């Protein structure tokens, strides 16, 4: 099983890179931000004393109003004592904190649920329960995490009895729900009924027992289930290594070993260890066996090994590099989303079953393009290799929470029923930032078709580290431009030594040097460049050399910018690579807000004062780019003037650009000229009922490079959030320029986007 995106590919990230990410200021992965303005003394009076007294008194009279006046209704506590951390064992409470922070990040990323992590420094069950039981007033739900069995069973049971909010141990139930969804579909494909299916479960820990309990609740007959642990079959009458949870599922059987138990069985669930299931065992199973080998990071048996014995086997694992990943992130964010939204007092069996059934149904639906794009090159459709939805399916947020909410209402545990579930589903679709899904899809596309990307500044430590990370992520082959001895010294200093899959090219000594000189001279000879000028450029300018590699087909894309200003890099690249025919080249910066908002700003790179025709072209290009990143474009052409007030000749260019867009009959919303506050604030835009924008603009076309650049560099430093770019759009070849203050991760991301650009040509 996998939690979030922990799989073989992400595990290839270096320890140094992971530590650097977690240590970058501010340390960790979480922070708090204010949701209300606290600028003036009046703001403070409303938010705190004396204004805060009013909601306090209302909540005192009716505690349910805490859901209306505080964060309680969207806040989950993620709690652990660190006794079973991610398969690493008992690391203790404080060492579990990075995982708990990560869990909160997944809650937010996939279901817009907020969270606070709490690490409890005790292994005593009673002390742990007493530490948690009194937290109910502050939270809408409790997610227990990484607590070893059997203590986790006792803790969850006690807390569910003592608390009136959902308590959910994801290591148990998350795996069970996703695995159950896959089993529903596997049975459907093999013509089996769940109640008649014979299941063998290897492993008797928290997740395994939760799987057995859920499947029995869904109708699987107890006499058809055999549970095994390290000592063999859990059978009635066994005394060694037993506890009350194993005893509850002890089978009446003559089988004593896993091999004996598997004879004629339909399904194998593995929650144990690598190699626990052998090919000989698979051969003893029934025809069309169903094998869920969920040990992490290495499954009990690989799909290749299983299919060598049974070609028609349906197989799931916990890894994303195989089809049918049993990934907990398909469950817990959406289960809590639905439970919180109806203010459920618990997460019960009907809610878990509803989540499993909704997941199973979603996998049978036609798969949208964005899911295909994130599927590592496989065309997905319901079948043996697609029985569980992809973790990046944007429909999950609108499918699972409504199903969970309905089950909560039907089973009587919802304290705030939702009258219109269809509208609720539509509202959920708008909660998430589409940019994150689109970027994930882009990166999966690149992994599916890796590219050769040139890192022009190959001697810089950051660039070397980025190249290694690019290779480790599976994006393709990094090509470093630099002197071999210096690059190797950097690798040695980083403790990396010689690394396969990374190329180093010395521009002056390269065997392709003469080819690039001839190519460049052909392009520049009528622009005042002599052959020896081109020779010098190729020998001495790494941007020129890198661009020549891309332009002549020796590489797919390039990235530069860490040591030179964007203007210098553009000039270098422009000697070799031109705008694509019929396109305008420009810079597009994506600003990501703290709460997932996304705004595109153009042109942040090239055109100092574009004319009306260029502004119209930039608007069209920006709209195309926004759509590729998952956003429906709403373009505002900005000015100091709003629809003629005040009228000034500087605003006329924007007005002309709007007229040009009118004549081209483009297929996206646009309007102008307008000031940015009108473009972004509905209340101000309402003063202009004729405005064509139906919502806040998400693409801001600036009147000049100066205003675009200042805005894109200043805004994130004042208001938080982050930026991507500027992205170089519209060139005939794939090239990207990173900001000079880029981190290693930002360089890798830009290199990946350059590779994606190359794949689109």
pLDDT-derived band at 436 (thresholds 50, 70, 90) equals low
pLDDT digits (tens, 9 = 90+) for 554-591: 999 999 999 998 889 999 999 999 999 888 999 998 88
pLDDT digits (tens, 9 = 90+) for 267-278: 999 999 999 999
What's the mean pLDDT in 468-473? 86
Name 325's bridge partners: 317
pLDDT digits (tens, 9 = 90+) for 183-209: 999 999 999 999 999 999 999 988 999
What's the mean pLDDT in 301-330? 92
What's the mean pLDDT in 256-282? 95
Instruction: Give the HSE-up count for residue 555: Cα atoms under 13 Å, Cβ half-sphere.
Output: 31
For the chain, give the percent of residues with pLDDT over 70: 94
pLDDT digits (tens, 9 = 90+) for 542-557: 999 999 999 999 999 9
pLDDT-derived band at 7 (thresholds 50, 70, 90) equals very low
Measured between alpha carbons, how far is 681 from 686 in angstroms, rounded to an integer?
9
Residue 354: partners with Cβ closer than 8 Å, 6 or more residues away: 403, 404, 406, 407
Q: Which of 376-390, 645-659, 675-689 has the lowest average pLDDT?
A: 376-390
Superfamily name and number for 586-730? Isocitrate/Isopropylmalate dehydrogenase-like (3.40.50.10750)
pLDDT digits (tens, 9 = 90+) for 675-700: 999 999 888 999 999 999 998 999 99
Helix (H, G, I), strand (E, B) or coil at 283: helix
Q: Which of 128-142, 366-380, 388-402 has the lowest average pLDDT?
A: 366-380
Please say if the pLDDT value at position 18 is more than 90: no
Please say if the pLDDT value at position 376 is more than 60: no
Please say if the pLDDT value at position 627 is more than 70: yes
- Asked if 322 is an active-site residue, the reply is no
Measured between alpha carbons, how far is 671 from 680 in angstroms, rounded to an integer?
12
Superfamily name and number for 173-432? NAD(P)-binding Rossmann-like Domain (3.40.50.720)
pLDDT digits (tens, 9 = 90+) for 479-495: 999 998 888 888 887 76
Catalytic annotation, pick one of 103, 352, 406, 462: 103
Instruction: Give the HSE-up count for residue 667: Cα atoms under 13 Å, Cβ half-sphere.
Output: 3
DSSP 8-state code for residue 146:
S
In the block, which residue shows the tokens 């003893």?
A: 284
What's the mean pLDDT in 422-450? 77
Residue 296: partners with Cβ closer than 8 Å, 6 or more residues away: 1, 2, 6, 87, 318, 319
Domain 441-559+566-574 has CATH 3.40.50.10470: no
In the block, which residue shows the tokens 């190249």?
A: 467
pLDDT-derived band at 212 (thresholds 50, 70, 90) equals very high
End-to-end CA distance of the chain: 37
Question: Phi/psi zone of residue 485: left (φ > 0), alpha (ψ -120 to 50 degrees), beta?
Answer: alpha
Run of H or E including 682: helix 682-685
pLDDT at res. 296 = 81
pLDDT-derived band at 5 (thresholds 50, 70, 90) equals very low
pLDDT-derived band at 395 (thresholds 50, 70, 90) equals confident
CA distances from 501 to 155, 168, 412, 443 (A): 48, 44, 58, 19
Please say if the pLDDT value at position 593 is more than 80: no
* Residue-averaged pLDDT of the chain: 89
Please say if the pLDDT value at position 650 is more than 80: no
Catalytic annotation, pick one of 25, 33, 36, 48: 48
Whether 414 and 462 have beta carbons less than 8 Å apart is answered as no
In the block, which residue shows the tokens 């909560």?
A: 408
pLDDT at res. 4 = 45
Q: What are the sequence ranges of the domains in the chain?
A: 173-432, 441-559+566-574, 586-730
pLDDT-derived band at 379 (thresholds 50, 70, 90) equals low
pLDDT at res. 513 = 86
Measured between alpha carbons, how far is 486 from 459 in angstroms, rounded to an integer?
6
Whether 424 and 456 have beta carbons less than 8 Å apart is answered as no
Burial of 423 (0-12, 13-18, 19+ CB in 10 A): exposed
Kindly report the length of the chain. Answer: 761
Q: Which of 240-249, 655-664, 740-749 has the lowest average pLDDT?
A: 740-749
Whether 28 and 116 have beta carbons less than 8 Å apart is answered as no
Please say if the pLDDT value at position 9 is more than 50: no
User: Judging by DSSP bridges, how do beta strands 586-592 and 722-729 pair with one another?
Assistant: antiparallel
What's the mean pLDDT in 235-248? 92
DSSP 8-state code for residue 354:
H
Measured between alpha carbons, how far is 187 from 266 in angstroms, rounded to an integer?
9
Measured between alpha carbons, how far is 674 from 449 in angstroms, rounded to an integer?
42
Please say if the pLDDT value at position 73 is more than 60: yes
Maximum pairwise Cα distance, the chain: 93
pLDDT at res. 375 = 57
- Asked if 103 is an active-site residue, the reply is yes
Do the two domains 173-432 and 586-730 of this chain adopt the same fold?
yes
Closest CA to 726 of 638, 620, 636, 618: 618
pLDDT-derived band at 11 (thresholds 50, 70, 90) equals very low
Please say if the pLDDT value at position 284 is more than 90: yes
Burial of 191 (0-12, 13-18, 19+ CB in 10 A): exposed
CA distances from 706 to 87, 604, 605, 635, 711 (A): 52, 8, 9, 19, 9
The 3-state secondary structure of 689-742 reads CCCCCCCCCCEEECCCHHHHHHHHHHHHHHHCCEEEEEEEECECCEEEECCCCC
Whether 736 and 639 have beta carbons less than 8 Å apart is answered as no
Mean pLDDT comparison of 234-248, 714-728, 734-748, highest-scoring range: 234-248
Name 268's bridge partners: 200, 291
Please say if the pLDDT value at position 437 is more than 70: no
């Amino acid at each position: 099983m996998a939690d979030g995106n922990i799989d073989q590919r992400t595990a290839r990230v270096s320890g140094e890179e992971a530590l650097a990410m977690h240590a970058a200021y501010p340390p960790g992965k979480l922070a708090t931000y204010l949701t209300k303005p606290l600028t003036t003394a009046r703001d403070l009076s409303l938010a705190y004393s004396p204004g805060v007294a009013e909601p306090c008194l209302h909540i005192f009279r009716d505690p349910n109003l805490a859901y209306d006046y505080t964060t309680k209704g969207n806040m989950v506590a993620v709690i652990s004592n660190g006794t079973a951390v991610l398969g690493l064992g008992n690391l203790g409470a404080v060492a579990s904190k990075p995982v708990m922070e990560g869990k909160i990040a997944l809650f937010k990323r996939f279901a817009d649920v907020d969270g606070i992590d709490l690490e409890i420094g005790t292994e005593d069950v009673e002390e742990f329960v007493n530490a948690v039981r009194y937290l109910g007033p502050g939270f809408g739900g409790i997610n227990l995490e990484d607590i070893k069995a059997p203590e986790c069973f006792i803790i969850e049971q006690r807390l569910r009895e003592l608390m009136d909010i959902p308590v959910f141990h994801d290591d148990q139930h998350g795996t069970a729900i996703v695995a159950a969804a896959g089993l529903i579909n596997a049975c459907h494909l093999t013509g089996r009924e769940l109640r008649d299916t014979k299941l063998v479960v290897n492993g008797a820990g928290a997740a395994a027992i939760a799987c057995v309990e859920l499947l029995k609740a869904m109708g699987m007959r107890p006499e058809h289930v055999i549970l095994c642990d390290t000592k063999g079959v859990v059978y009635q009458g066994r005394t060694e290594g037993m506890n009350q949870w194993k005893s509850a599922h002890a089978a009446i059987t003559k089988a004593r070993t896993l091999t004996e138990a598997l004879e004629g069985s339909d399904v194998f669930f593995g929650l144990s260890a690598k190699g626990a299931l052998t090919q000989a065992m698979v051969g003893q199973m029934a025809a069309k066996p169903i094998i869920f080998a969920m040990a992490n990071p290495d499954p009990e048996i690989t799909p290749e090994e299983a299919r060598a014995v049974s070609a028609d086997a349906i197989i799931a694992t916990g890894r994303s590099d195989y089809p049918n990943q049993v990934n907990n992130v398909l469950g817990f964010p959406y289960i809590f989303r639905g439970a919180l939204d109806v203010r459920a007092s618990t997460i019960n069996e009907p809610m878990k079953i509803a989540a499993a059934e909704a997941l199973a149904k979603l996998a049978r639906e036609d798969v949208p393009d964005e899911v295909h794009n994130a599927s590592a090159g496989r065309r997905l459709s319901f079948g043996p290799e697609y029985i569980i939805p992809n973790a990046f399916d944007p429909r999950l947020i609108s499918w699972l929470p409504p199903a969970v909410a309905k089950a909560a209402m039907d089973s009587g545990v919802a304290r705030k029923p939702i009258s219109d579930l269809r509208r609720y589903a539509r509202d959920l679709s708008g909660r998430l930032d589409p940019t994150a899904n689109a970027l994930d899809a882009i990166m999966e596309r690149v992994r599916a078709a890796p590219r050769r990307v040139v890192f022009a500044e190959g001697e810089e430590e950051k660039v070397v580290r980025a190249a290694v990370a690019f290779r480790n992520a599976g994006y393709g082959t990094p090509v470093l431009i630099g002197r071999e001895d210096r690059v190797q010294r950097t690798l040695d200093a980083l403790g990396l030594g010689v690394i396969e899959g990374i190329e180093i090219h010395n521009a002056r000594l390269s065997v392709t040097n003469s080819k690039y000189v001839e190519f460049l001279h052909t392009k520049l000879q009528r622009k005042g460049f002599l052959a020896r000028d081109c020779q010098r450029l190729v020998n001495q300018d790494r941007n020129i050399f890198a661009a020549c590699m891309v332009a002549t087909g020796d590489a797919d894309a390039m990235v530069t910018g860490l040591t030179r200003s964007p203007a210098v890099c553009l000039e270098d690249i422009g000697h070799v690579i031109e705008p694509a025919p019929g396109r305008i080249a420009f810079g597009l910066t994506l600003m990501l807000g703290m709460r997932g908002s996304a705004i595109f700003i153009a042109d942040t790179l090239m055109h100092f004062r574009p004319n009306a025709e260029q502004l119209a072209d930039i608007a069209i290009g920006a709209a195309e780019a926004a759509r590729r990143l998952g956003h429906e474009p709403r373009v505002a052409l900005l000015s100091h003037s709003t629809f003629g007030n005040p009228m000034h000749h500087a605003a006329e260019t924007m007005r002309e650009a709007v007229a040009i867009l009118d004549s081209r009959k483009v297929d996206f919303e646009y309007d102008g000229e307008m000031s940015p506050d009108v473009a972004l604030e509905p209340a101000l835009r309402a003063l202009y009922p004729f405005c064509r924008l139906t919502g806040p603009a998400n693409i801001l076309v600036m009147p000049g490079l100066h205003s675009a650049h200042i805005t894109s560099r200043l805004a994130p430093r004042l208001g938080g959030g982050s930026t991507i770019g500027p992205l170089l759009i519209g060139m005939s070849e794939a090239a990207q320029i990173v900001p000079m203050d880029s981190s290693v991760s930002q360089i890798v991301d830009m290199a990946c986007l350059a590779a994606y650009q190359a794949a689109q040509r």
